[in-house]
Structure 1
Amino acid sequence: MEFTLRPLLVAAGVIGATFAVGWAADLVLRRIASRHPAAPLWQRLRRCRVPLQVASCTGLLLSSYRTAGVGQDHHVGIDRALTLLLIASVGWLSLRIAGAVVDSGYARYASASHDPARVRRVRTQVALIQRVVTAVVMAVTGAVMLMQFQAVQTLGTSVLASAGVIAAVAGIAAQSTLGNLFAGLQIAFGDMVRLGDTVVVEGEWGTVEEITLTYLVVRTWDERRITMPVSYFTSRPFQNWSRGGAQMTGTVFLHVDHATPVPLLREQLHRILKECDAWDGRSWSLVVTDTTPSTIQVRALATARNADDIWTVRCAVREGLIGWLRDEHPYALPRINHTPAPGREP
C-alpha cells in the first residue's frame, strides 16, 4: 500500500505546487500591471506562465521522484530525461522573458514617439535583436543539453583541442553567410533601410516587409515578394524613398502643342489637386521645361504624404489634364502636320 500511495502523494504534491507557482506568479504580475498601466512589461510577462510551470514541475519531479520510490533501477535514464526537459523549459522561459522585455520597450517607444521614421528604425532593430537573442539562447540550450551525454563531453574536449583549425575552416566555408550576418547588423544599427520603407531595387518599387540577419524581403506594388541578401544593400546603391521622412514630390510630364494655353492649364491643375484627397496641399506648380520643333514639354509638380499617395496624385493629374485638353482645347494635343509650310509650293 505504501509503495502505491507514496508516488500518488508525490505526484499530487508536484502538480499542486506547479499550479500554485503559476497562479502566484500570474497574480503578482496582474497586480503590478494594474498599478502601472503605462508599463506594458508586466502584462507581457504573464505570457511566461506556461514555461514557468513546466520548469517548476520538471524541477520538482527531478528532486522528489526518488523519494516516491519510482524507477529505482532506472535512475540514470530518468535523471537525464528530466534534466534535458528542465534545460529546454528554462531556455523556453528565457526566450519568453527576453521577448517580453524587448516588446515592451518597443511599445513604450512607439507610443511616445511622433516620428514614424524613428519608429520604423527601432522596429527594425528590435526585430533583429530578437532574432539574435533567439539564436543565442537556442544554441546555448542545445549545447548544454548535448553536454549531458558522456560521449558528447569527450567529443567536445577533442574539438576544443583543435578549435583553431576548425574555426579557420568554418570561417572560409561560411564567408558568405557571415558577410550577410554582419550586413544585417549594419543595416539594423546603421539606419540604412527599415521595416516599412519604400525602396527601389533592381528597377522594382516596393515596401520592405521583413528583415532578417541574412536576407531581406521587399513586397512590390503588385504583391510579389523579392528576397534579396542583406549584403546587397551594403554593397550596391538603391533608392530609399522613406529616408528623411515619408513626404514625397511627384512630377508629370506632358508633350503638348505650342498653342496650348499654359495659364489655363495651370489653373486646371490646381482644381484637379484640390479635388484629389491624396494631395497634401504642401506644394504644386506647372511650368514649361523644354521645347521641340513640334511640341513643348510641360511639367506638373505636386506633393503627397507618402509613396502610395504620390502615385495616386500623379495618375489623377495625368488623367485630369489630358481629359481637360481633349474636351476643352483639342488643338493643344500633339499631332503630326501633313500640310506644307506657308509660302512653299507643294
Structure 2
Amino acid sequence: MKKYSRLLISLLILIFLLVSKSVFSFIDESYFRDDSTLGIIKHALFIASVSWIIIETLRLFKIRLLKRYDISSEDNLKSRKLHTQINLLQKVIVFIIILTAIGLILLSIESIRKIGVGIFASAGVVGIIIGLSAQKIVGALLAGIQIAITQPFRVDDAVVVENEWGWIEEINLTYIVVRIWDKRRLVLPTTYFLEKPFQNWTRTTADIIGSVFIYTDYRISFDALRKELTRLLESTDLWDGDVNVLQVTDSKESSLEIRILVSAKNSPTAWDLRVFIREKMIEFIQKNYPESLPRTRVVLEDKFKEGKVKG
C-alpha cells in the first residue's frame, strides 16, 4: 500500500481540482477565468497533478515489470540488460514529462507565454541552453540516452575504470555510479564512458578467466606444478571446471615467469580463486622445491691462478 500512496495523493488532487469549480460555484465566476490568479494556479495544479499521475503510474509499471527479472541470480545477463534499458527509459520519459508540464504551465501565463512556446521548439531549447553555457548538460543527457540504446555496459557489470575495479551500481541520465570493491563509490559523467576506454569484464557473459603469475628458478619441475594446479582446482568450488592452464611465458637471466590461467563463474569468484591458487602454489614450491625459488647468482672467479701472480 505504501508504494501506491503517492499515486493516490496525486489522484485526490486531480479529483479535487475537477470538482472544485462546481463545489465553489458560489464564488464569483471571474475568479476562475484563465487569466485570473486563481485560474492560473488551478491550471498549473491541474497540469502538475496529471504529470505526477503519469510519472507515478510509470514508476509502478516499472517496479512490477522488473520484479520478473532478478539481477541477483547467477545467470542474470538478460535481467541486467532489461533493468538498464527500462530504468534509463523511465528517466528519459520523466524528463520529457516534466519539461512538457513546465512548458504548459508557462503557456497559461500571458506575460511569459513566449518562454513556454520556446520550450516546445527544439531550436529554442538549444538556444536557451547554449545561452546559459550548459552544453555539457545536454551532452550528458544525450550520452545517457545513447548508453541506454547501445548498452556498452549494464547494471551490475564488472568494470575497470580509472584503474579501479568495481561494479556498475547506478546508471542515470547525467552520471554513472561505480561501486568499488572496497565499498567506495566512483561517480563519473555519462560522457566519460563514450570518450574514454574502460574494461567491461561481463559484457557478454558473467564467467571470466583469471591469471596468476609466479616467478621461479630454472630448476623447477613444470609437470609437478601442473599436477598440483589440477589438484588444487579440483579441491575447490571456486573453479567452474573450464580453464586450467600453466605455461612458461617468459625467461629472464635470473628467473622464469610462469602464468596460470583459471576460470570462474563471475569476477568476484575469479578474484578469490586467483588468490587461493597463488597462495597454495607458493606453499607447494616452498615445501617441495625450496631450491627453485627465485635466486640471484653471483660467480666469483679466482684471478690468482698459478703462474699469473708473482710472490
> What's the CA shift string for 1:77-121, capped at 9, x where partnerless?
54444433332222111111122233333434669x995222212
Contact 1:128 1:213 in 2 (8 A): yes
2:54 matches 1:94: yes
Q: Give the equivalent residue in structure 1 for 2:10.
A: 51
Contact 1:62 1:82 in 2 (8 A): no
SS in 2 for 1:145: helix
**Partner Cα separation in structure 1 for residue 51 and residue 5 of structure 2:** 17
Identity %: 31
Q: Give the equivalent residue in structure 2 for 1:65.
A: 24
Deviation at 1:140, TM superposition (A): 2.0
SS in 1 for 2:212: strand
**Partner Cα separation in structure 1 for residue 27 and residue 124 of structure 2:** 47
Deviation at 1:267, TM superposition (A): 1.8
Letter in 2 for 1:265: L
Letter in 2 for 1:55: L
Contact 2:106 2:116 in 1 (8 A): no
- Cα 1:179–1:164 change in 2 (3 A) is closer
- Cα 1:143–1:339 change in 2 (3 A) is same
Q: How does 1:175-324 map to 2 (within 5 A)?
A: 175-324=135-284
2:294 matches 1:334: yes
Letter in 2 for 1:145: I
- Cα 1:168–1:149 change in 2 (3 A) is closer
Deviation at 1:304, TM superposition (A): 0.5
Contact 2:102 2:116 in 1 (8 A): no
CA root-mean-square deviation:
3.3
Q: Which runs of 5+ in 2 are unaligned?
A: 306-311
SS in 2 for 1:298: strand
> What's the CA shift string for 1:304-335, capped at 9, x where partnerless?
01111111111111111111211222112112
2:95 matches 1:135: yes
Deviation at 1:240, TM superposition (A): 0.8
Deviation at 1:249, TM superposition (A): 0.6
2:61 matches 1:121: no
- Cα 1:166–1:184 change in 2 (3 A) is closer
**Partner Cα separation in structure 1 for residue 114 and residue 187 of structure 2:** 42
2:109 matches 1:149: yes
More helix by share: 1
> What's the CA shift string for 1:115-135, capped at 9, x where partnerless?
522221221111111111111
Contact 1:215 1:229 in 2 (8 A): yes
Give the TM-score of the pair, scaled to structure 1.
0.75
Contact 1:121 1:188 in 2 (8 A): no
What is the count of residue pairs matched by the alignment?
A: 298
**Partner Cα separation in structure 2 for residue 83 and residue 170 of structure 1:** 27
Deviation at 1:149, TM superposition (A): 2.9
**Partner Cα separation in structure 2 for residue 117 and residue 166 of structure 1:** 38
**Partner Cα separation in structure 1 for residue 222 and residue 69 of structure 2:** 50
Letter in 2 for 1:331: E
Letter in 2 for 1:130: Q
Deviation at 1:276, TM superposition (A): 2.8
Letter in 2 for 1:202: E
- Cα 1:225–1:245 change in 2 (3 A) is same
Q: Which runs of 5+ in 1 are unaligned?
A: 1-25, 27-43
